[in-house]
Structure 1
């Protein structure tokens, strides 16, 4: 009867998954053990636990996906004893292959980190693009390939044929079950159990029950690059590397003469640099500088501001009236990462932060003048800095510190309640910036990237809405249709 096969499959799935989880977890711990030479993790217990927990979720996702074909085949053959026996007969060999891949990939990930300071990334493909034969010769001479592969096969065979329930176990299990007819209620209960098993398995494979599946965005858990790099297992890291490699653009070199000609055509001069007059007061009293890029907001929206009927400025109004305000700005693009890259790095390549060029420092980034002036440079993002590889790319380009939602929540625990799809409420992002400025011992430059104004929108509970009214101009620009906006 199918109910006996389902019970067997249910137990078998756990016997498959647990060794897989153990392998990937041990791979992560091995990376931390071999790489961590001078970082005291005992003072970063909260970050370490967060890294291990998120890493465990990534491991469960990979193990579930890896055994999904076998589990699916078992579910489809529940009504056929003959086909179910065939599935159980090959299960231990299937598990052996999966375990071997997990062990081998985890070991490669550790060695890769020791060599390049990161988990498997897009540079892996760049290495093989250069000279595959030379790379293979280096690997053969520098790493224990033969002994490593041999040990992998032995361990995987042992796990696959020791911990997994095999064909003969199923025959013994099935022969001990007495056939008995089931009532309609029992059939319904078993069908519900099967459905619950499928749903639970899908959730584990998805990694999340929220609006976003578990992915790269969730992998930044700490200010320490080591902990962030230890979160993804080798398979997740390799998938991200493959995606980055496919999306990257190949940059071609340009002659200096052509570059100057292009600059002259656009700027009217052969260099983009400007120098202001000397100011002794600013030289002796360097001010803090805060640059905020507001998600989805610009003068194209603020022209709709009206204090009485459409209050968009709120508490910013006095500053717009009393301070220096430059209104003739236009975003290079409506995309978030494009805006950041164009503003900070003068590049129109949005994938530059997670491509084979992501390890190359740029000579003319917008942060460089602040570095030369002795400023402390900080990037604050209300979301997760693993997004677009910012946590690794920005320090390379001159930022001393990159703080994201993890730092914000650690500093202001109440921020966790405000977390939405893309991060914590901007209120706490600005609070962190204010705290940094109040405690700063040297001139500080802060670049802030907000998230609250990014859809889907989560309005803070303590926010008191101002009057809002859509003008005819605005209505005509919303998908070309008339819309009704209510307060």
Structure 2
């Protein structure tokens, strides 16, 4: 360095100043201390906001102690990369480069941490936990997400952006000032201290001497998933989700291992699969289902997948009185009293209802690469039997990769917003009335062609920001754009659709399924809020006689049941239950909630947790309460749960969820 530059503040030395001791690591030290302060303040604010839930969990002290530990881990991840470069750049010749690099890196890290914490409250309002993989998945659809935020959460959006910009300015000024005070050490001192610091940060990231390094599951300190998520930071939650998504082909192994033969035996041992033969070693769940109803001509099928219509909104299921049309219709067909969704996303509902596919901790197969072709769906199976197959959606069919999945797996035609001329259009596309008008026109066209048909109709009006036409319903809540009003409008549109379809010639030859993809918001103070997975389901049309299905059922049971009612006998890989043949045997449900998998059997709940021992609990459907037991679950229940969560991952990974060419 020249004599002039030696007088610069980058090389100044003043032993009376505290930053003298941090040497070339001053900006990284600022990142560590400012990050800890920022995350601790955020956690304090979130705990104060959710004080009732935190108090009920009884772990207030542990939350802050373990929270600091978790914060040190994520800050270690953000520090170790520039630290690793120190021997190359933290010298006098590259002093400005090193100071600038670490300043900008630390600024970006603090902005990332701050933005994630600022985005957390609104995410909690919607999903009852910190940002996770859903946050990442939604980033792939900026137009839809921005439209929802702008129309439904504008103050929160503007406030988050403004606060993030302010944080960026303050962080940059702080670190620019720190860079001017940075003191570089002699090369010998740098090279002697660097390995020690690198080891300290590595241990900071590992945070334990146990066999496995620390991970978010270690900070699950209570039976409340939200409270557990508050212990860690949103930055770590999202980074962990990104890492998990990269490994999701083997996602179910986070719960442990189970031999392949035990997986298959555990699934095939279900009472409703006991009479089936599984002749193919290559396709281990492939079997022939003989329809319970023998028909000269198989019936058509229409599935109406209702966006976010949980039991929360159905009075006869213990919810609000905002679905009067559905309440009338339920006495005209098969009404499911204990039907449970497999997850909390539309694509999870799609894979269960349309493909009969069980859930995993990974993303839905609708979005996974190995399922984009030759993956079994009702459309693929029915198409082989001469059915015309179609998907009708009021939004953009590319959302959540639906168009790719559907067209690659049996849907011959896709009709979305671009083919409609809606009278009312919201952020998510055409209103449900416009959607159903299009569906009615399409059904009439399909019927006129003289071939059997299958149409999947997916609604969207009941979605934030809850936009629907004026003057259609008497509002349930005074604020129009409220979920209860959106549900009531969706119900109104559904009632009009069924009434119009009933007047058509194809009604007597068509089975209609009305079912929700999931509830609007899945939240609660349970580790798995089972009551929020409860959804309505109704089968009507043709010669379907009214009855109530009271046994516990899952979304994956609907497809086999529909095939049986339609009079369609076929070979398929679905493991669901044909309720047309047996609706009395006690059933089961399987629920995927973030990284938790719940196996519900009677009132017994077995909860699998990543890298932790399973938990047992008792679920009361009347109150919606889940009480965790002190004792571990029975080994047989754990094995059944493990078999059902591992099988779909196995079938996906090996591409065995299909029928022979």
Number of aligned positions between the proteins: 306
Residues 1:39 and 2:50 are matched in the alignment:
no
Contact 2:70–2:232 under 8 Å retained in 1: yes
More helix by share: 1
Gaps of 5+ in 2: 2-10, 14-19, 252-271, 279-286, 293-351, 365-516, 523-532, 535-552, 555-586, 590-598, 640-661
1:475-486 equivalences in 2 (<5 Å) = none
Alignment match, 2:238: 238
Contact 2:74–2:236 under 8 Å retained in 1: yes
Contact 1:24–1:233 under 8 Å retained in 2: yes
Residue deviations 1:388-433 (CA, integer Å, cap 9, x gap): 8978999799992346xxxxxxxxxxxxxxxxxxxxxxxxxxxx43
Contact 1:263–1:270 under 8 Å retained in 2: no
1:380-459 equivalences in 2 (<5 Å) = 385-387=609-611, 400-402=626-628, 432-433=630-631
Distance 2:617 2:128 in 1: 13
Change (3 A) 1:261 1:68: closer
Change (3 A) 1:166 1:44: same
Alignment match, 1:221: 221
Contact 2:28–2:106 under 8 Å retained in 1: no
Q: TM-score, normalised by structure 1?
A: 0.50
Change (3 A) 1:139 1:83: same
Change (3 A) 1:136 1:391: farther
Alignment match, 1:306: none
RMSD (Å) for aligned C-alpha atoms: 4.9
- Using the TM superposition, give the Cα deviation of residue 196 of structure 1 relative to its aligned residue in structure 2, in angstroms: 1.7
Distance 1:396 1:87 in 2: 60
Residues 1:153 and 2:379 are matched in the alignment:
no
1:19-418 equivalences in 2 (<5 Å) = 19-36=34-51, 38-39=52-53, 41=55, 44-45=57-58, 47-78=59-90, 80-124=91-135, 127=138, 132-141=142-151, 142-143=153-154, 144-162=156-174, 166-170=178-182, 173=183, 192-245=192-245, 247=248, 264-265=276-277, 352-353=360-361, 355=363, 363=554, 364-365=587-588, 370-371=602-603, 377=604, 379=606, 385-387=609-611, 400-402=626-628
Residue deviations 1:90-136 (CA, integer Å, cap 9, x gap): 4333322221111111111221111111222333355567x652321
Change (3 A) 1:83 1:248: same
Alignment match, 2:545: none
Distance 2:69 2:113 in 1: 16
Alignment match, 1:16: 31
Could you say which structure has the greater relative contact order, defined with CA pairs below 8 angstroms and 6 or more residues apart? 2
Deviates more, 1:52-61 or 1:349-358: 349-358
Contact 1:379–1:399 under 8 Å retained in 2: no
More strand by share: 2
Alignment match, 2:568: none
In structure 2, the residue corresponding to 1:400 is in which secondary structure? strand
Change (3 A) 1:34 1:164: farther
Change (3 A) 1:53 1:399: same
Contact 2:133–2:242 under 8 Å retained in 1: yes
Change (3 A) 1:449 1:268: closer
- Using the TM superposition, give the Cα deviation of residue 206 of structure 1 relative to its aligned residue in structure 2, in angstroms: 3.0
Alignment match, 2:415: none
Gaps of 5+ in 1: 251-259, 273-344, 372-376, 404-431, 435-443, 451-487
Residue deviations 1:17-38 (CA, integer Å, cap 9, x gap): 11012222223333333344x4
Q: TM-score, normalised by structure 2?
A: 0.38
- Using the TM superposition, give the Cα deviation of residue 221 of structure 1 relative to its aligned residue in structure 2, in angstroms: 0.9
Distance 1:209 1:249 in 2: 26
